[in-house]
Structure 1
Amino acid sequence: MKVIVIATAMFLAGAASVQAADKVTFQMDWLPGGDKAAIFVCLERGFCEDAGLDVSLETGRGSSESLTKLATGSSDIGNADIGALMAARVTENLPVTAVMSYYNQGPHAFFTLRGNGIEKFADVKGKHLVTSPFTSSNVYLPLVLNDNGLTMDDITLTKTDPGALNPMLVTGRTDAVISWITDVTRYTRQVEDAGREMIVLPWADAGLVMYSGTIVASDKFLAERPDVARRFVAALLESVKYMRENPQDAAQAVNDAVPELDHPTAMGSLQDAIGLIFNEVTERDGLGAFEPERLKATWDRVAAAQGLDADALDPESVVNRNFMPEN
């Protein structure tokens, strides 16, 4: 009888523990991939569970959709471009706040091939470039061109379906494409299969200083469940560190959750994304930090790119550092 009582008590305690897990809906700004490995590590390697969290994922189709779902309460916390958040605060007073930096550099870049006559940023003058219609890179292109003594009149720009970008580059139908650093491995494999060599020119190296991908949360979630938000951010930070130290297993965590996304593909985009998370900015300011001057520089860029009044927003108003773990 004692064994039965003890077993029953243990079962009830276990059930209570499961029930005690706080449910959180994480909103991705795009489809699953190696660049999103941290959240899959949190789920598949126990960091979220250890924090007492029961996390479900929602996929998205861009920062605007992600922010809308957070603002309407469909999701609690997720990722989106901080530039999109800043603009939405000005135009819509969106009730969403950034709680942790993820990419502390912009992911935008020119991809070209050796022999196309583009070895440095300024070499795009007089060249034909292709971009996708909805990428945020298009917003910042005039600014980074201006930083390098060029204007939109100095290039020929064509917009096409994202899936056509690399085929157009490989087949010589364009001199360069505009894409994200997180696509380097995928593009490079296709280029090498064609017997060519790819050159990547990050805009971060050409003067575009700004934050980009960010962990953002519904203001309602932050106000009503601040302890849950803090535990989630802490768990995600540990997952990011694990991802850096164990990239092969982090890619496997993505594959475990999304079997149709093979390990090499996940590993490639994970490695591409690592440099946007861990770099000289991280070494100087810390992982996940929002440094005031860089935050202001980001807003200055966003305002200029979107024709917004620079005085319409205090960039500090879109971030809340209180949900980061204390050092």
Structure 2
Amino acid sequence: MFLRLAATLALCLAAGTAFAQTNVKFTLGWKTQGSDAAFFLARDKGYFKEEGLNVVIDQGEGSGATVTRIMGGAYDAGFGDINAIIQNAATRPADAPVMVYMLWNQPPFAIVSKAASGIRTPKDLEGRTVGGAQGTPTTRMLPVFAKTNTLDLAKIKVSNMAPNLQEPMLLQGQIDAALVFNITSYFNLVLNRQDPDKDFSWIKFGDYGLDLYSNGVMVSQKLIKENPKAVAGLVRAINRAVIEIGRDQDLGMEAVVKFDNLVNAGVEKRRLQYSYDTLIVSPEMKEIGVGDLKDDRLKRAIGLVAAGYDLPRQPEPGEVFSRQFLPPKAERELVYVKK
């Protein structure tokens, strides 16, 4: 009898544990894209559930807006730009979220032009008109980019425009180049039946002195303080999915289409692979593992962002990024096999 009661009690406790999940509201950086596959896969394969989490995923309004959404209390976590964290940590250090998993080790900030324009290097931008969306990191960092590359900014005309007009105006010849996120602009061109590799030139900020980090998983300081176990579980689950998708992108795309069956699966699979090819996989990532970063590089990046946005102070790396929730490096060794 005693053994039967003990067994029943154990089953009840186990069932109670299974249902006592922590709710986490998670915002994407933008609308559903192939590059978000890891979040959907972690949900569909039960990785979040295994960590005791019920993660609700919503579409976003921009990688910078992820920060403001979390600061406003509407979301606990999300995928967004570390540079937006830097900006807010400079003025509201107690409220700014903290990045806990760096995914885009390489920055997406770039200047795209038609190959026929002859724009190949930063110096070629002088005397030209470039289109920029006001407030975006690429546009805001142009003065720092110009200073770093000894450009005369007075010789570069910047035409302000909405982000969705940049590629159309470039194609129509109304601007000579556009200040963009490469992972967005590349596929806007694809959707406009263009060949972004053959017919366009790309000047990447990271290749010309602005060695910035970019998007990753961030969480509120409130969640870190009140439930650090949930933060660690969130990171572990996402990391598992990132590693799996590196080996099998079709697995990731199944999760993307399940989340939003209106996406263009062919284009979004290319975007998913582009994110690994261009933004995630790098010599540094191979050295330290996916999810981590180097503090000295982050410190230099903070200085660049502080100059670009005229911040009142430079936050310390520890205010912006925390590696305390990362799984061991052996679990973060990414093998990317393009399929």
Using structure 1 for the length normalisation, give the TM-score: 0.89
Matched, 1:287 2:277: no
Deviation at 1:108, TM superposition (A): 0.6
Counterpart position of 1:36:
36
Q: In the superposition, relative to structure 1, how do residues 254 and 217 fare at CA in structure 2: closer, same or farther (>3 Å)?
A: same
Contact 2:131 2:161 in 1 (8 A): yes
Deviation >6 Å, runs of 4+: 11-15
Q: In the superposition, relative to structure 1, how do residues 20 and 82 fare at CA in structure 2: closer, same or farther (>3 Å)?
A: same
Contact 1:29 1:80 in 2 (8 A): yes
Matched, 1:237 2:239: yes
Q: In the superposition, relative to structure 1, how do residues 111 and 241 fare at CA in structure 2: closer, same or farther (>3 Å)?
A: same
Q: In the superposition, relative to structure 1, how do residues 193 and 71 fare at CA in structure 2: closer, same or farther (>3 Å)?
A: closer
Counterpart position of 2:273:
271
Matched, 1:307 2:313: no
Give the root-mean-square deviation of aligned CA atoms.
Answer: 2.5
Counterpart residue type for residue 292 of structure 2: A
Counterpart position of 1:118:
119
Matched, 1:79 2:79: yes
Q: Distance in 1 between matches of 2:77 and 2:256?
A: 19
Q: Distance in 1 between matches of 2:295 and 2:116?
A: 41
Counterpart residue type for residue 34 of structure 1: G
Contact 1:181 1:273 in 2 (8 A): no
Deviation at 1:314, TM superposition (A): 1.8
Contact 2:108 2:182 in 1 (8 A): yes
Please give the per-residue CA displacement for 1:191-222, whole angstroms capped at 9, x wherever unaligned: 5379x712222111111101111221111111
Q: In the superposition, relative to structure 1, how do residues 193 and 281 fare at CA in structure 2: closer, same or farther (>3 Å)?
A: closer
Structure 1 unpaired stretches of 5+: 1-7
SS at match of 1:249: helix
Matched, 1:65 2:68: no
Q: How does 1:154-173 map to 2 (within 5 A)?
A: 154-173=155-174
Contact 1:191 1:198 in 2 (8 A): no
Contact 1:35 1:182 in 2 (8 A): no
Q: Distance in 1 between matches of 2:65 and 2:115?
A: 37
Deviation at 1:167, TM superposition (A): 1.2
Q: Distance in 2 between matches of 1:176 and 1:229?
A: 41
Identity %: 25
SS at match of 2:104: coil
Using structure 2 for the length normalisation, give the TM-score: 0.86
Structure 2 unpaired stretches of 5+: 1-7, 330-339
Counterpart position of 1:140:
141
Q: Distance in 1 between matches of 2:29 and 2:47?
A: 21
Contact 1:182 1:270 in 2 (8 A): no
Deviation at 1:320, TM superposition (A): 1.9
Deviation at 1:16, TM superposition (A): 4.4
Contact 1:120 1:201 in 2 (8 A): yes
Counterpart position of 1:174:
175
Counterpart position of 1:88:
88
Deviation at 1:230, TM superposition (A): 0.4
Residue in structure 2 matching 1:326, options 325, 328, 332: 328
Counterpart position of 2:4:
none
Q: In the superposition, relative to structure 1, how do residues 107 and 87 fare at CA in structure 2: closer, same or farther (>3 Å)?
A: same
Q: How does 1:145-224 map to 2 (within 5 A)?
A: 145-183=146-184, 184-190=186-192, 192=194, 197-224=199-226
Q: Distance in 1 between matches of 2:59 and 2:266?
A: 21
Deviates more, 1:57-66 or 1:234-243: 57-66
Q: In the superposition, relative to structure 1, how do residues 163 and 318 fare at CA in structure 2: closer, same or farther (>3 Å)?
A: closer
Count of residue correspondences: 318
SS at match of 1:192: coil
Q: Distance in 2 between matches of 1:167 and 1:96?
A: 35
Q: In the superposition, relative to structure 1, how do residues 197 and 303 fare at CA in structure 2: closer, same or farther (>3 Å)?
A: same
Counterpart residue type for residue 19 of structure 2: Q
Q: Distance in 2 between matches of 1:120 and 1:221?
A: 44
Counterpart position of 2:51:
51
Q: Distance in 2 between matches of 1:92 and 1:20?
A: 33
Q: Distance in 1 between matches of 2:195 and 2:92?
A: 46
SS at match of 2:178: strand
Q: Distance in 2 between matches of 1:249 and 1:314?
A: 38
